[in-house]
Amino acid sequence: MLLSRKLLCELSPNFSKVSDDHIRTGVMNMGMEVEQIIHHPKLENICVGEIIKVEKHPNADKLNVAEVLISEKPRIVKTIVCGANNLFVGQKAVVAMVGAKLYDGREIGEKTLQGITSCGMLCGYPELTPYNHESMSDSDKSGIITLDSNAKVGDTNIASFLGLDDTIYDLSIPSNRHDWQSVLLLVEDMSKFFGFKSKLQINETIKSDVKNIYKLSIDQNISTCGTMYVIDEYITKQSPWNLRATLLNSGVELVSQTIDNINYISLLTGVSPLLFDADKLPKNLIQKMGNGEKVIVKNKPYTLTNKDAILVDDKGVVLAIDNIRAVDDYAVTHLTKKIVVYISNTKHDLVRNTITRHNLSSKSGKNNSKRNCGYQMSLFNNMLLKGYGKKVISACSNKIALEKDKTIKCSMEELVRFNGIESENPVEFAIKSLEKLGYTVKGDTVIVPGYRNDLENDQDIFEEVLKVYGVNELPIKPYTAPVDLLYKEESNYSKLHEIKKILINDYICETKTYNLTSKETANVFNFFNLKPFYHLNPCTNKAREYIRTNLVSSLLSVFAFNLNRKNELQPIFEM
């Protein structure tokens, strides 16, 4: 996950005083990992220019000749030859002047191209930074940058216009913290952890009149809630650069002003909607499992199975692969006038397995392959209604179900003993730590948000206090239990090691898979009828609840994984 420092400071201004190193240490104590901190290259000898004249190069069909105003007082106009095809009169562009050095080592100088001298370069985004290219549209990658119309000719603060003065934190989020896919909830927790008073109004409730334009039938085996909205205006033009910069530095693909706004809400809430063309979408939508239907998604054919969640109309016509992507016939195009926004909390493992099975790739699928809670969906609802006002309509009567707070029994004395906290009043420290994180402590019970699926028992609460205390602050004490330090090589291990060497020398690939699996998989190929299955309790992940009884299922899952991705299959073994 990419977190923009500018966005972090916008949502919680106190972070502007916190160094990158302190942020790295803090988020690591919270349970995340900073994979890298990204800084864009510095820009020099680059300014805002305005194209005042453009025409085809007389001697080269693929080149254009532009007259570019780079200073109004004194008036300076430069002739620049450019191969991009999105030039127009009045366009505010980024000009690399003679003498500018780009990050890839190129130095801009005067150059004669097919008989015309070019005095500078009109820049595209990829010329200015090596980062975020995958989030640019194809037209953005091949064309020059079009700045907002209020950019002033001659201004050299290009980095600020384009967000290239930002810092990007590449965070590794724990798999059990699905709520941190929401930047709002992530920043809220970071603010509490750093002791800042949060100004985020994430508990605000926005209500609107519901117009039952659509009827949505939810299958409780697929999801518990879902709803729809209509945005009555689809704006296809480019978004302002302050929004584009935030999305680019957060790894979000640019599309158009309306979809960029929706994607910004998705970034903040962690909820990725499906988008439909309102004029094409039927009025009745039904959630169900597939049954061999054939669909076209992004010009590729797919055959759906009874393990794929889908949306169909009342005639059984497939409208979308649920929470992944709309079928092409109902998807948004540049001709769309109104957009339907659909959100649901479809079971994340269904989404993830469908993505793997069909080798599908989409932003919605990526986000929704993690658990979406009702609280996040409520945040999405509030931001969409607040951001669009009268231009958005709640289009069906389905309500979003919010999780109720959970009460966890936890002895404060046991917490202190278990964590080894050294303080004048360790129990008081533990209570204040939990309250700092936003929990309510009543005696030996702790009340936590219902959407926190990672908090289930007292040991989870122990860990929360340890995060505040700091793992590095724990006293280092030598282990005093008697240990037999004499290593005795077991003959069985030696034999296994020899077998492993033989297999590898015969070009058979060794795999390493999970020891834990689901109850259903633990029963498959259980040749020796091993009982019990060593049920781990508590466990919030049903796919990792039992110790496996054999290796056959694991090896077959490796084959299936590679087969779905059309990788070349290799002989494999596991010990």
Nearest to 397 by CA among 219, 231, 216: 216
Determine which of 100-114, 160-174, 255-269, 560-574 has the lowest per-residue pLDDT on average: 560-574
Average pLDDT over residues 538-565: 79
pLDDT tens by residue, 479-527: 565 555 555 555 666 788 888 888 888 888 888 888 888 888 888 887 7
Task: Give the C-alpha separation, 486 to 503, whole Å.
Answer: 30
A 10 A CB-CB count for 306 gives 9
pLDDT tier for residue 389 given thresholds of 50, 70 and 90: confident
How high is the pLDDT of residue 239? 94
What is the 3-class SS of 348-364, one letter each residue? HHHHHHHHHHHCCCCHH
Average pLDDT over residues 41-54: 96
pLDDT tens by residue, 412-465: 999 988 888 887 899 999 999 999 999 999 999 999 998 898 999 999 999 999
pLDDT of 557 strictly over 90? no
How high is the pLDDT of residue 356? 86
pLDDT tens by residue, 22-33: 999 999 999 999
How high is the pLDDT of residue 480? 60
Positive or negative: CA dihedral 48, 51, 57, 60 = positive
Q: Is the Cβ–Cβ distance between 256 and 247 less than 8 Å?
A: no
Task: Give the C-alpha separation, 63 to 87, whole Å.
Answer: 11
How high is the pLDDT of residue 373? 86
pLDDT tens by residue, 210-240: 788 999 999 999 998 899 999 999 999 999 9
Determine which of 55-59, 94-98, 133-137 has the lowest per-residue pLDDT on average: 133-137
pLDDT of 368 strictly over 90? no
pLDDT of 200 strictly over 70? no
pLDDT tier for residue 204 given thresholds of 50, 70 and 90: low
How high is the pLDDT of residue 526? 79
Q: Is the Cβ–Cβ distance between 2 and 169 less than 8 Å?
A: yes
Chain-centroid distance, C-alpha 323: 14
pLDDT tens by residue, 97-144: 999 999 999 999 999 999 999 999 999 999 999 999 989 888 888 899
Average pLDDT over residues 281-308: 94
Angle at 158 between CA 153 and CA 163, to 5 degrees: 140
Q: What are phi and psi of 320, to 5 degrees?
A: -165, 155
Torsion angle in degrees (nearest 10) through CA of 541, 543, 549, 555: -140
pLDDT of 207 strictly over 80? no
How high is the pLDDT of residue 472? 73
Q: What are phi and psi of 565, to 5 degrees?
A: -95, 5
Average pLDDT over residues 316-329: 93
How high is the pLDDT of residue 32? 93
User: What contacts 548, CB < 8 A, 6 or more positions away?
Assistant: 514, 515, 516, 517, 521, 522, 554
Please give the mean pLDDT across all residues of the chain. 88
How high is the pLDDT of residue 504? 84
pLDDT > 90 in the chain, percent = 61
Average pLDDT over residues 348-356: 88
How high is the pLDDT of residue 500? 86
A 10 A CB-CB count for 255 gives 17
Q: Where is 572: in which H helix or E strand?
A: strand 572-573
Average pLDDT over residues 315-333: 93
Average pLDDT over residues 235-248: 95
Position 385, amino acid? L
pLDDT tier for residue 535 given thresholds of 50, 70 and 90: low
How high is the pLDDT of residue 244? 96
Q: What are phi and psi of 387, to 5 degrees?
A: -75, -35
- For 138, 235, 255, 325, 525, the CA distances from 261, given in Å and listed in that order, are 19, 10, 10, 18, 50
Average pLDDT over residues 82-97: 96
Residue found under tokens 């992507």: 325
How high is the pLDDT of residue 537? 55
User: What contacts 531, CB < 8 A, 6 or more positions away?
Assistant: none
pLDDT tens by residue, 9-23: 999 999 999 999 999
Size (the chain), residues: 575
Position 337, amino acid? K
- Higher-scoring residue by pLDDT: 73, 419: 73
pLDDT of 331 strictly over 80? yes
3-state percent helix, strand, coil for the chain, nearest multiple of 5: 30, 20, 45
Task: Give the C-alpha separation, 574 to 568, whole Å.
Answer: 19
